[in-house]
């Protein structure tokens, strides 16, 4: 698969980079700039090669038209701070501002286009509509670099269609992500432990289904655990529950037993009678996983479970973690997530943090990101790869008919 080097001499060339700058905002303030920082190495490499770098990205889910709440202006400013250089900002994506901004770039300079999802063509289901919008983007550049791993599982204009219209390559971030995912799926070092959390079993069905034949152990926490506990015949009080997935969970438990894969569920749970929020102080209580009170809801795995999960993780040679163990944003329900994160920093092998919520937990809980083997920028893309699905934004880079260097 082509990398930036395969594009040849980029000096003076306009390079359109699809980055993932979809960061959380509080007004105009970025509350977690992890994805912006992850985008910097590829943008800097292109700039230092003398390219005129044109960054396109999305933020949030606007309805195919401009919405000031989703403007990339604050992100462009933060990118400039991280690059240590001025970053020009176009107030549209393919309109007069974009054309003028790109035309004004000199070698090594960087511009950010306004939110690509302000254009309905970006996410259109119809191939011809997406392709037409991609053509407008392609007019702004001589080459395309795909570096937004968080969107490569989407068949969207700035991810997929533009790669069919320009000489294309993957950026360093996408290349690193693919390398790690291949290590997780193609002959991983063993023991191979997968830790899954988050709210819903339905979000992880494909991953569980595929990894039951690859992993040595699956540790299940977060809100999704209660459907598993209910499937075992335990009452879960007011905890999050997906009744329509009970039989699926029973099938997973049966398959794991038949194939020798260990599914580890919590033995104790931290509960409260209300979800944290407002002025009410949390009132956490630790109960056995098979004795959750009828008026309580589970909000974290308990201390015994946290210790057991951590021991399993530390003993592995390969670990993939996706999804927090509880409501980590509240201190009273963060210890399960903290224990798993700490154990990942102690793995003698490959430790991978996958998913926005898990990455956010790492930063919120004060861990040094360098202590982990890899922190993925794309939760959905990582999960779909681990499900065995083809990622359109990756596959298209092999289908581009024009492989000639610039």
Ligand-binding site membership of 254 (annotated) = no
Tally: H helices and E strands in the chain: 13, 17
What's the CA dihedral at 349, 353, 358, 362 to 10 degrees? 60
- Residue 140's nearest CA partner among 52, 19, 72 is 52
- Give every CB contact of residue 22 below 8 A, 6+ residues apart in sequence: 35, 57, 58, 59, 60, 150
Ligand-binding site membership of 374 (annotated) = no
Ligand-binding site membership of 154 (annotated) = yes
Ligand-binding site membership of 131 (annotated) = no
In angstroms, the Cα distances linking 314 to 186, 216, 308, 317, 321 are 21, 14, 10, 8, 13
Instruction: List the catalytic residue out of 200, 250, 255, 317.
Output: 200
Ligand-binding site membership of 21 (annotated) = yes
Ligand-binding site membership of 204 (annotated) = yes
Residue 6 CB coordination number (10 Å): 14
Ligand-binding site membership of 298 (annotated) = yes
CA atoms in the 13 A half-sphere facing the CB of 77: 7
Instruction: List the catalytic residue out of 356, 378, 379, 393.
Output: 356
Ligand-binding site membership of 60 (annotated) = yes
Give catalytic status of residue 366 as yes or no: no
Instruction: List the catalytic residue out of 34, 323, 380, 393.
Output: 380
Distance CA 130, CA 112 (A): 21
Give catalytic status of residue 155 as yes or no: no
Ligand-binding site membership of 20 (annotated) = yes
Give catalytic status of residue 200 as yes or no: yes
String of DSSP letters for 67-126:
-GGG-SHHHHHHHHHHHTS-EEE-SSSSSHHHHHHHHT--TT-EEE-S-GGGSGGGS-SS
Give catalytic status of residue 356 as yes or no: yes
String of DSSP letters for 299-366:
EEE-HHHHHHHHHHHHT-SEEEEES-SS-TTSGGG-HHHHHHHHHHTT-SSEEEE-SHHHHHHHHHTT
In terms of DSSP H, where are the helices of 193-278? 205-211, 225-231, 246-259
Ligand-binding site membership of 84 (annotated) = no
Ligand-binding site membership of 13 (annotated) = no
Instruction: Give the single-character DSSP code of 167.
Output: -
Ligand-binding site membership of 61 (annotated) = yes
Ligand-binding site membership of 326 (annotated) = no
Distance CA 4, CA 42 (A): 9
Report the alpha-carbon angle 78-80-84, nearest 5: 120
Ligand-binding site membership of 173 (annotated) = no
- Residue 379's nearest CA partner among 355, 353, 358, 360 is 355
Instruction: List the catalytic residue out of 35, 230, 312, 338.
Output: 35
Q: Is the peptide bond before 53 cis (omega within 30 degrees of 0)?
A: no
Query: Which residue carries 């933060």 as its tokens?
Result: 78
Binding positions are: 20-22, 35, 58-61, 117, 154, 204, 298, 329, 355-358
Known binding residues for ATP are 204, 298, 329, 355-358
Positions annotated as catalytic residues are 35, 200, 356, 380
Q: Residue positions in the annotated binding site for substrate?
A: 20-22, 35, 58-61, 117, 154
């Amino acid at each position: 698969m082509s990398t930036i080097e395969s594009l040849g001499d980029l000096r003076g060339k306009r390079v359109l980079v699809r980055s993932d700058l979809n960061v959380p905002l509080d007004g105009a303030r970025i509350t977690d700039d992890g994805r912006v920082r992850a985008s910097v190495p590829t943008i800097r490499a292109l700039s230092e090669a003398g390219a005129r770098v044109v960054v396109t990205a999305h933020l949030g889910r606007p309805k195919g038209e401009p919405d000031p709440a989703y403007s990339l202006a604050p992100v462009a400013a933060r990118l400039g701070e991280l690059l240590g250089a001025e970053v020009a900002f176009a107030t549209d994506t393919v309109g007069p501002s974009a054309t003028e901004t790109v035309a004004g770039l000199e070698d090594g300079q960087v511009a950010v286009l306004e939110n690509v999802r302000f254009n309905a063509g970006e996410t259109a289901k119809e191939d011809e509509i997406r392709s037409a919008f991609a053509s407008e983007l392609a007019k702004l550049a001589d080459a395309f670099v795909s570096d937004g791993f968080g969107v490569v599982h989407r068949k969207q204009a700035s991810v997929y269609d533009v790669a069919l219209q320009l000489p294309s390559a993957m950026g360093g971030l996408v290349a690193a992500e693919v390398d790690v995912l291949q290590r997780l799926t193609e002959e991983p070092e063993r023991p191979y432990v997968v830790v899954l959390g988050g709210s819903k079993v339905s979000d992880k069905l494909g991953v569980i289904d595929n990894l039951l034949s690859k992993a040595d152990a699956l540790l299940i926490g977060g809100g999704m655990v209660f459907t598993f506990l209910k499937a075992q015949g335990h009452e879960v009080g007011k905890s999050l529950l997906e009744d329509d997935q009970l039989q699926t969970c029973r099938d997973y438990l049966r398959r794991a037993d038949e194939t020798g894969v260990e599914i580890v569920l919590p033995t104790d749970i931290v509960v409260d009678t209300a979800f944290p929020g407002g002025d009410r102080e949390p009132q956490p209580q630790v109960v056995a996983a098979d004795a959750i009170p009828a008026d309580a809801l589970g909000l974290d795995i308990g201390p015994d479970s946290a210790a057991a999960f951590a021991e399993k993780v530390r003993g592995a040679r390969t670990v993939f973690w996706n999804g927090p163990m509880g409501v980590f944003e509240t201190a009273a329900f963060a210890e399960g997530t903290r224990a798993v994160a700490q154990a990942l920093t102690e793995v003698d092998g490959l430790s991978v943090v996958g998913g926005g919520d898990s990455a956010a937990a790492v930063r919120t809980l004060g861990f040094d990101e360098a202590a982990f083997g890899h922190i993925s920028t794309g939760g959905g893309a990582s999960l779909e790869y681990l499900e065995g699905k083809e990622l359109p934004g990756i596959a298209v880079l092999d289908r581009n008919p024009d492989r000639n260097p610039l």
